[in-house]
Amino acid sequence: MTRALHLAIPLCTITLALIAAAARAAPAAESPPPGVLAPLSEPYAPQISPSEFVTGVDNPWLPYKPGTRIRFEGVRARTPQRDVEHVLHRTKTIQGVRATIVRDTVSERGHVAERTDDWYAQDRWGNVWYLGEASYERQHGKLVRAGDSWEWGVDGALPGIIMPAHPQTGDAYRQEHYAPGEALDQARVLPRLARLTVLYGTFHNVLVTSERSPLEPQTEHKYFVRGLGEIAERVVKGHHETFELVSVTH
């Protein structure tokens, strides 16, 4: 936030300005830590501008190539569910940034239970940012827009990082910030798993993140493989929910 019209400039403002300037001057391979770009501290002020985004999402830990379909099978509570992510060819412009649209459709018993268009964009260092979502839930037989839908720049909503460029154990960062809709997820990178077997196969050197919201008692772990993306997610605190990767088609 600019404070140029004030004679007394707070030290924190100077610090943030220096961080932003250093980030812009850094080579593409040297991303500032995700906890600097999307800090957990309040008041939240992500260190990113529209000019620092690139076209497409090719972060090796979360690649979203248009046309890709990613299918998961799992259980929520005691109900079997199917979750299909479809990377659309069309994009959405948010705050001047061309965002990749990933349509996430959750079905149970042959019917769509939830459908969400998630909007992602990658910065010049390789961090994947979450710019918002349009979420719909089935109520009385119809899909109704959910209250936690949000978009960067609307009603004070701000973006966060969904996948760092170079995730390191201990990294902690904010994923979204939309207080009116209680969208306040944050993540932390955990130690790697040497090996993990899911329905799609067995993988090594698996990246693990832990996600939670300060407003909810639930904690979810997500598992990623370099060059492929997410392969599983499991709620480890709260209700029972687990999904595993079944197929990827391009």
Residue pLDDT, tens place only, 128-165: 999 999 999 999 888 999 888 999 999 999 999 999 99
DSSP string, 206-244: EEEEEEE-TTSS-EEEEEEETTTEEEEEEEEESS-EEEE
For residues 122 and 98, give the distance between their C-alpha atoms in angstroms, rounded to a whole number.
10
Tens of pLDDT, residues 97-135 = 999 999 999 999 999 999 999 999 999 999 999 999 999
Instruction: pLDDT band for 24, please (50, 70, 90 cuts).
Output: very low
pLDDT tens-digit profile of 54-93? 999 999 999 999 999 999 999 999 999 999 999 999 999 9
What pTM did the predictor assign?
0.87
Better-scored residue on pLDDT, 24 or 217: 217
The residue among 14 and 83 whose pLDDT is bigger is: 83
54: its two tokens: 């690139």
Q: Count CB atoms within 10 A of the CB of residue 22.
A: 13
pLDDT grade, residue 29 (50/70/90)? low
Q: How far is CA 120 from the centre of its chain?
A: 7
Residue 179 has pLDDT above 90, yes or no: no
Domain layout of the chain by residue ranges: 11-73+80-181
| pLDDT for residue 40 is more than 70 | yes
Burial of 217 (0-12, 13-18, 19+ CB in 10 A): exposed
26: left (phi over 0), alpha (psi -120 to 50) or beta: beta
